[in-house]
Every structure is written in structure tokens, then in C-alpha cells.
């Protein structure tokens, strides 16, 4: 059976992980990486050529090739939506990746969504377009998720929950059953959410405090520190992948 042909939009660490996973699963043939104009730093990545978007359009037809979105949670996942719409405007389909090592019984998974290994989607669940579910995420029965949401590792959503667009659930966060999360809700790493939210809510860790006010500076600094630590850990993991495209 012939594999789908794809180009990975982005050259970040998520893009490199996706290249590895797509190859490992034989889910698609990666034909190169794509960046926006002015962001091309190297000609090659993991043995594949890097193209600027306009160059890619001339070389790879929208009828034959699909785009994989590597963009994650920055700007409350709006970056994923912007790139999604840019690709659609130019006639490209967005590739939906569901790992062979995920347990997916969902009624629907939207176009361009990414489902990593170890994810569990129970029966009667739905996931919208352009979502990103990292390893260990669990979404229980009769829950539905809007579009362009990001679920960090081991985030848990209990049954009958409704999640709006552009929501972010941090690592090891828990959303209890039957809740309604309005769009742009942020549930921080390790937080437990047990009440409905309004648009733009932030649920802090440990105490589960919810606020729609400006996020305190100390919390912002703590989150930036955690992001830096996460990037360092990811870099160590990717050291094992760096030669994958060139004959590991």
C-alpha cells in the first residue's frame, strides 16, 4: 500500500519528533520540511530538504501532498490555526496523524490533529480540527474537544466534558467530569479543575484557583522556567534521533 506523501510545516523540536514518529509508524512518507519566508536557516534537516512556503507550492502539488502541522501551544495554539488556514487557502489538506500506539475509539478526529503514542480516546468522544495530544493524554467517554486545543503529556479529561476552542491543558492536569470549558481556558500543569470556566480563564496548579485577570508575573516567570527545562529535556531525547534521516 502506497504511503501518503507529506511535508512537515516547521523545523522545531515537535517537527523533528513528528518526522521520527511518522517514519517509525510508516504512517506517511516525509518529503521535506517547510518554513515561512525568512525562517530558513539550514538547507537540510534530518536528511530532508527544507523549503520556504512559496518554494514548496511550486514543487509539491496540493493534489498529491499533505501538510503536517508541527506547531504547538504558543499564543494559546493560535499559531496552529494560522498555519492551518494558510495551508487550506493554498489548497493543501492537513494530514491527521494517529499513532499506532494510541488507543482511539473516538467518533471523530478532526483534520490536521496529532495524536501521539499512549493517548486514550474513549468511545463517544470527539476531537476537533488542528488539535495536538501528546503522549499519555486520556479523554474519557462522551467528552468533546473543540478545535486547535493542546494537551500536554498525561493530561486527563473525565467523562461528559465539553472543551471549547484554543484551550490548553498542561502536563498532569485533571479536568473532572461533566464540566464546560469555554474557549481559551488554560489549565496549568498539575492543576485540578472542578468547575466550569468562562472565556480566557486560567486554572493554577495545586489549589485549582481560576481567574480571568492578568496572569501574575511570578506565575509567568515560573512557566517560562518550566518551558526552558522542558526544551532541555526534549533536546536530550532528540539527540537519539538526530541522525535518523542520515542512517542512524
Q: Would you call 160 helix, strand, or coil by DSSP? A: coil
174: closest CA among 152, 196, 147, 155? 155
Specify the DSSP element, H or E, that contains 181: strand 180-181
Cα separation, 90 vs 86, whole angstroms: 6
Torsion sign over Cα 171, 200, 13, 103: positive
Q: Is 3 buried (19+), middle (13-18) or exposed (0-12) by CB count in 10 A?
A: exposed
Cα separation, 23 vs 48, whole angstroms: 12
Q: From edge to edge, which strands make up the β-sheet containing 93-94?
A: 44-45, 48-52, 28-35, 4-9, 65-69, 93-94
Q: What angle do CA 213, 215, 207 make, to 5 degrees?
A: 90
The response to whether 72 counts as a known ligand-binding position is: yes
Cβ 107 vs Cβ 124: under 8 Å? yes
Known binding positions: 72
Known binding positions for substrate: 72
Amino acid at each position: 500500500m502506497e504511503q501518503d506523501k507529506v511535508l512537515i510545516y516547521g523545523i522545531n523540536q515537535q517537527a523533528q519528533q513528528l518526522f521520527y514518529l511518522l517514519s517509525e509508524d510508516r504512517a506517511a512518507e516525509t518529503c521535506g520540511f517547510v518554513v515561512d519566508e525568512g525562517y530558513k536557516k539550514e538547507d537540510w534537516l534530518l536528511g530532508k530538504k527544507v523549503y520556504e512556503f512559496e518554494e514548496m507550492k511550486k514543487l509539491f502539488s496540493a493534489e498529491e501532498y499533505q501538510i503536517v502541522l508541527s506547531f504547538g501551544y504558543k499564543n494559546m495554539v493560535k499559531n496552529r490555526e494560522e498555519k492551518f488556514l494558510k495551508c487550506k487557502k493554498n489548497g493543501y489538506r492537513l494530514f491527521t496523524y494517529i499513532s499506532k500506539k494510541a488507543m482511539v475509539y473516538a467518533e471523530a478526529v478532526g483534520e490536521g490533529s496529532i495524536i501521539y503514542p499512549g493517548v486514550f480516546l474513549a468511545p463517544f468522544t470527539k476531537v476537533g480540527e488542528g488539535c495536538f495530544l501528546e503522549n499519555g493524554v486520556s479523554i474519557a467517554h462522551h467528552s468533546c474537544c473543540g478545535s486547535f486545543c493542546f494537551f500536554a503529556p498525561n493530561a486527563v479529561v473525565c467523562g461528559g466534558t465539553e472543551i471549547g476552542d484554543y484551550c490548553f491543558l498542561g502536563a498532569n492536569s485533571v479536568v473532572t467530569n461533566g464540566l464546560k470549558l469555554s474557549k481559551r481556558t488554560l489549565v496549568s500543569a498539575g492543576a485540578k479543575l472542578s468547575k466550569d470556566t468562562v472565556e480566557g480563564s486560567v486554572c493554577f496548579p495545586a489549589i485549582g484557583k481560576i481567574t480571568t485577570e492578568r496572569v501574575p508575573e511570578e506565575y509567568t516567570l515560573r512557566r517560562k522556567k518550566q518551558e526552558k527545562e522542558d526544551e532541555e529535556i526534549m533536546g536530550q531525547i532528540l539527540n537519539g534521533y538526530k541522525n535518523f534521516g542520515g542512517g542512524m
